[in-house]
Amino acid sequence: MISPYDPELVNPASLDVRLGNELMVEQEEHEQMRKLSIEKFSRESPFYLYPGEFVLAHTLETFKVPSNVAGQFALKSSTARSGFEHLMAGYIDPGFWNSVLTLELKNARQMAPIPMWPGMRIGQIVWTRMQAPPTKTYRETGRYNNDPTVTATKGWL
């Protein structure tokens, strides 16, 4: 269901997920966001998200969620206390397949930048077993399956 799986990421009621190595950042001259690799950054030499800045990021982990399981992403409390906000689009439908989870992150601080680096524990997922599989899973209805990296919007609803 999760690759790469690391038992060290298992908590009593959730699974930690780590930051992947690409972001999508805003550009002054364009409406669309551009990809930016952060693979060369580290805890010792991080990428900084400045106050008010918004990025799309992704999990290091790729998910193959069965049709009888759903998940909910939430920031880790230490990450939120550092000033990160997540824009509440973290529901993982049954059938979310072969994809990383794209995260919508913002620095809510007023004056200080927040460090980011690949592999940092950014959030956690609480998994829920469904009583029964839905009539149609996300494998049939979803637009963000088979996304191997951070993905911008694929259009408005």
Question: Which residue is catalytic, options 22, 61, 104, 140?
Answer: 104
pLDDT at 1: 95
pLDDT at 28: 80
Is residue 150 situated within a structural domain? no
Is residue 18 situated within a structural domain? yes
Contact, 71 vs 125, CB < 8 A? yes
pLDDT at 30: 78
pLDDT at 157: 55
- Give the residue numbers spanning the domain of 42: 2-141
8 catalytically annotated: no
Is residue 156 situated within a structural domain? no
Is residue 35 situated within a structural domain? yes
Is residue 95 situated within a structural domain? yes
Is residue 61 situated within a structural domain? yes
pLDDT digits (tens, 9 = 90+) for 33-76: 999 999 999 999 999 999 999 999 999 999 999 999 999 999 99
pLDDT at 52: 96
pLDDT at 94: 97
**Domain count of the chain?**
1
Residue 87 CA neighbour count, 13 Å, CB half: 11
Is residue 153 situated within a structural domain? no
pLDDT at 84: 97
Is residue 21 situated within a structural domain? yes
d(CA 141, CA 122): 28
User: Among candidates 53, 97, 101, 111, which has minimal Cα distance to 75?
Assistant: 101
pLDDT digits (tens, 9 = 90+) for 88-138: 888 999 999 999 999 999 999 999 999 999 999 999 999 999 999 999 999
Q: pTM of the full predicted structure?
A: 0.93
Exposure class string for 112-126: b at 16+ Cβ within 10 A, else e: eebbbbbebbbbbbe
73 membership: H or E segment, kind and range: strand 69-75
Burial (0-12, 13-18, 19+ Cβ within 10 Å), 34? exposed
CATH number of domain containing 19: 2.70.40.10
